[in-house]
Amino acid sequence: MTVKEHFDSMDYGLAPESAAEALDWITARDGAFGLYINGAMTAPGELFKSRNPATGEVLAQVTQASADDVDVAVIAARKAQKSWGALPGHARAKYLYALARLVQKHSRLFAVLESMDNGKPIRESRDIDVPLVARHFYYHAGMAQLQDAELPDREALGVCGQIIPWNFPLLMLAWKIAPAIAMGNTVVLKPAEYTSLTALLFAQICDEAGLPNGVVNIVTGDGRVGEAIVTHEDIDKIAFTGSTNVGRQIRRATAGSGKSLTLELGGKSPYIVFDDADLDSAVEGLVDAIWFNQGQVCCAGSRLIVQEGIADRFYAKLKARMGKLRIGDPLDKSIDVGAVVDPIQHQRITDMVNASAGEGELYQAPCPLPDQGCFYPPTLITGLSSASTLMQEEIFGPVLAATTFRTPSEAVEIANNTRYGLAASVWSENVNLTLDVAPKLVAGVVWVNGTNMFDAAAGFGGVRESGFGREGGWEGLQAYTKPRGKAVSLKPIAPVSAPKDAKVDALDRTAKFYVGGKQARPDGGYSQAVWAKSGALLGHVGIANRKDIRNAVEAATAASGWAKTTSHARAQILYYIGENLSARADEFAARIDAMTGGRSGAKEVDAAISRLFTYAAWADKFDGAAKPVPMRGVALAMNEPVGVIGGFCPDEAPLLGLVSLMAPAIAMGNRVVLAASQPYPLAATDFYQVLETSDLPGGVVNIVTGDHATLAAPLAGHLGVDAVWSHTGADISATVELESAGNLKRSWINNAKARDWMGAAGEGREFLSHATEVKTVWVPYGE
């Protein structure tokens, strides 16, 4: 073509990137890869093929690791962890810095290999994935450097098993490995079976960086290798990114094992366009939201929710833009959309779209598709109802499902009408409107007039069935550290049994439950006696059952207005509860002494009053942050309440234990359903009389009594509960974690650690972070 012809056609032409270096790298390894264990590549074992999805050609053969291989990798990681974790932060920082530099030095090789293995456009792997990988290692080199000074009370978890998906193979590796090793953990990582190659190249740069043997181990293979990691007994933490179904299986498989867990799962993120939005920018944003990486993005803006008055105009602009999209060879620098990862994924997308044929109106980009390879055309389906399968299920392909709304509140309602809660985009030129809507969206990340913005300094992660835990930022480090100190198993305390010569008391002193701000009788009509060590009958308490839990959760759910009260108002109420408790301090102290047979009642009541003051203080001081992300704008990390928290109170501190769970939760705007200390429940039932006189709205705190083991399943399994905290002596961890898999609620199991409730370990930031979700709201300034 002549220059003139180029000007006339304004055609892009081809701009192919060479595959030669990447192919040479593979050939130099005979096209067959073993595993990276203890600082060396093993000989290739049972092999499977890794293909280029754009051409179908075999790129390399990769080893399907066995359970024994996983075991050897875990042994290496365990051995390495001791010395790696003991290094000063600065020593680890130097290694992470070296890794960051080496990623940059090999950046083009990483990008080309990634595009060939995954099918994503080279523009994306070169300009987005790989730079973000380097950024993640730089950022976490800094975290290692600051660890000793800034996180003196926390330490590494140990050996982390990490399982990642195929959509951002190298980037997900970086998100997992960088914070883990920065904090002194060692890792056994499994890439997805479709995309192992950049992880194997990363193994090479670990060698180049001189990383000590065993700090990073990479085992390849399919879900069976993932299962071997998940069920391995000597792994302390599992970090998983992938489908919600597998996430749920992992939650169940690790229940009761004592392993920490973070899950970054699927999404169906809303993309809301208000009628005053800059429509051209919003269209361009959509190209990024849903056609970036062929829509195979967990936070893809896959649900377009557009204001009715502009819908037709917006769709017309969008279709015009779709007409310009270029789909083709991922190594061509001028294409917009590459290949989906594998024929299986292509089939899955095709089936989902075909199964909903006739629902809505389908429009596919008219661009020609290559003759071979896994290419799926950019697709828009308009006129769907919010309940339609295409609006509810994650398609994980270049398919945008659209509906309309009339008012901002309807937009929020449609946006939140999903089981997921990963990300959301809001488009409007009215910043008041966007900042009104952002906090109302149930999502871990909100982008204002933008989409798919990521940075190592900003937390990323979801709520609801999008999983739990954050990656990135200070908040991301929680997932790779634990409070310093040795864990000691808690022992349940047996209630005082009835004396032989027990006398029936004529006075009815049966304490009821406290539900929705009212006293409630047990549904089952059962109660248990509470005896003093002295032999006197102190009273009776009800034994709660499933129905009582349901009522309490319903009351808590109905009290959602608490989340909207100001932090100052919540602080005042907490002070007031403290004041009212203090007015009855002697009575409470005597009650505790009578139940426990001890003499520390007065001290415990004092500590409880102090704790109420502590969280009254924190209510308006547990701030978020404005993250210094590399753009002109801010990423606001906002602490939001988790929702309804179920709590099992400690046996050993009947009043203080309950206050220690209740106060941080309600200070942050949550509502609670608490199962009181099992052996000493009367302090809790007395306490609700204090709550009744303290202006606390009904339903914010609900208290039941009964057997923790019986209540574990109904409370942890309730879909209206967003998190469960277990500090009881009863070993209910397996039940709580298993049941929490239903809606993938967060769980906090503390029965492996005796806590000094009187001391500093009984309060503070650890509790507050369990009581909050960090929502990151990205607000670019514009220019």
Which positions lie near ligand NAI, rule CB under 6 A? 163-167, 190, 192-193, 222-223, 226-227, 230, 241-243, 246, 249-250, 265-266, 298, 345, 348, 394, 396
Q: In angstroms, what is the minimal distance from the CB of 447 to ligand NAI? A: 17
Q: In angstroms, what is the minimal distance from the CB of 139 to ligand NAI? A: 21
- The set of catalytic residues is 264
Are the CB atoms for 194 and 116 separated by under 8 Å?
Answer: no
Other C-beta atoms lying within 10 Å of the C-beta of residue 629: 20
Q: What angle do CA 187, 157, 611 make, to 5 degrees?
A: 155
Residue nearest to ligand NAI (CB): 226
Are the CB atoms for 374 and 346 separated by under 8 Å?
Answer: yes
Q: What share of the chain is helix, strand, coil (3-state, %, to 5)?
A: 40, 20, 40
**Rounded to an integer, what distance in angstroms lies between the CA atom of residue 527 and that of residue 105?**
70
Q: Could you tell me the sign of the dihedral formed by the alpha carbons of 618, 621, 624, 625, in that order?
A: negative
Are the CB atoms for 229 and 235 separated by under 8 Å?
Answer: yes
**Rounded to an integer, what distance in angstroms lies between the CA atom of residue 100 and that of residue 92?**
13
Q: What angle do CA 748, 754, 757 make, to 5 degrees?
A: 85
What is the chain's alpha carbon radius of gyration, rounded to the nearest angstrom? 28
φ/ψ of residue 728, rounded to 5: -85, 160
- Classify residue 16 by its DSSP letter: B
Are the CB atoms for 77 and 232 separated by under 8 Å?
Answer: no
Are the CB atoms for 716 and 646 separated by under 8 Å?
Answer: yes
Are the CB atoms for 746 and 595 separated by under 8 Å?
Answer: no
Q: In angstroms, what is the minimal distance from the CB of 142 to ligand NAI? A: 26
Q: Which is nearer to ligand NAI, 187 or 619 (CB)?
A: 187
- Strands lying side by side in the sheet with 32-33: 32-33, 58-63, 47-51
- DSSP string spanning 195-225? --HHHHHHHHHHHHTTPPTTSEEE---SHHH
List of residues 6+ apart from 41 with CB closer than 8 A: 33, 34, 35, 203
Q: In angstroms, what is the minimal distance from the CB of 643 to ligand NAI? A: 22
Q: Is 24 exposed, middle or buried (0-12, 13-18, 19+ CB in 10 A)?
A: exposed
Q: Which is nearer to ligand NAI, 244 or 750 (CB)?
A: 244
- DSSP string spanning 222-275? SHHHHHHHHT-TT--EEEEES-HHHHHHHHHHHTTS--EEEEE-----EEEE-T
**Rounded to an integer, what distance in angstroms lies between the CA atom of residue 328 and that of residue 127?**
18
Q: Which residues of 692-706 are buried (b: 16+ CB within 10 A; e: fewer)?
A: eebebebbbbbbbbb
**Rounded to an integer, what distance in angstroms lies between the CA atom of residue 175 and that of residue 298?**
14
Q: Which is nearer to ligand NAI, 103 or 340 (CB)?
A: 340
**Rounded to an integer, what distance in angstroms lies between the CA atom of residue 249 and that of residue 741?**
8
Are the CB atoms for 92 and 182 separated by under 8 Å?
Answer: yes
Of 616, 613, 609, nearest in space to 570 by CA: 616
List own/partner pairs for 736-740 with CB under 8 A and 24 or more apart. 736/255, 736/712, 737/251, 737/252, 737/254, 737/255, 737/256, 738/251, 738/252, 738/255, 738/256, 739/712, 739/713, 740/251, 740/716
Question: Distances from the Cα of 352 to the Cαs of 305, 345, 388, 413, 463, in angstroms?
Answer: 20, 11, 12, 25, 25
Q: Is 23 exposed, middle or buried (0-12, 13-18, 19+ CB in 10 A)?
A: middle
**Rounded to an integer, what distance in angstroms lies between the CA atom of residue 469 and that of residue 250?**
15
In 3-state terms, what secondary structure has residue 392?
helix
In sequence order, what E strands does 91-176 have? 154-156, 159-163
The three state secondary structure string of 123-145 is HHHHHHHHHHHHHHHHHHHHHHH
Measured N-to-C along each axis, helices 244-254 and 223-230 cross at an angle, to the nearest 10 degrees, of 30
Are the CB atoms for 735 and 729 separated by under 8 Å?
Answer: no
**Rounded to an integer, what distance in angstroms lies between the CA atom of residue 738 and that of residue 13?**
55
